[in-house]
Amino acid sequence: MKKSWQTNVVRALVFVFVIALSIYLYTIRDQVQELEGYGYPGIFLVSFLTNATLILPLPGVVIASLMGTVFHPFWVAIAAGSGAALGELSGYLAGFSGQGVAEKTPIYNRMEELMRKYGVWAVLILAFIPNPLFDMAGIIAGILRMPLRTFLIWTWLGKVLKMLVFAYGGATISRFFPF
């Protein structure tokens, strides 16, 4: 019984930390964009921070598009996708911390059904498609106790592929419409 109580305390603290981090990052979103001047590490950090928020949208793919015009798009995608994948741990940890994180809405129920049925494929596709539902997928992956390594690998692959599209898209558009 004591171990269960300690586990619940740790889960509650993780949940509070994730929510506090999301609120904090949302309040400093303008300052986050200034980190771009630090090259690939800055792109990684900006992408990490913009994806560490829960539900609150921050412009991670826009930054990848813009940085694709300045730096090599492939490396922009690797840096941005890696940062994004690690940033998505906030949703996973929120889900892992306790099942009371997300309200059981029809969208949630459908997402949970997809996650149970397709697992890593759902993670990959939702990580690739720009949408606010990936936070919910991360939360559900945590609730379903998907292995962390599995979640990270498939999230990373989806995020890098998405960032490749946006970084190369930004680079291509800038050739036709120079800034």
Are the beta carbons of 41 and 79 closer than 8 angstroms?
A: yes
Classify 144 as helix, strand or coil: coil
Classify 149 as helix, strand or coil: helix
**Residue 86 predicted with pLDDT over 80:** yes
Q: What is the DSSP string of 37-56?
A: GGHHHHHHHHHHHHHSSSSS
To the nearest 10°, the Cα dihedral for 168, 170, 174, 177? 130
Averaged pLDDT of the chain: 80
pLDDT of residue 79: 95
**Residue 159 predicted with pLDDT over 90:** yes
Domain segments of the chain as ranges: 2-176
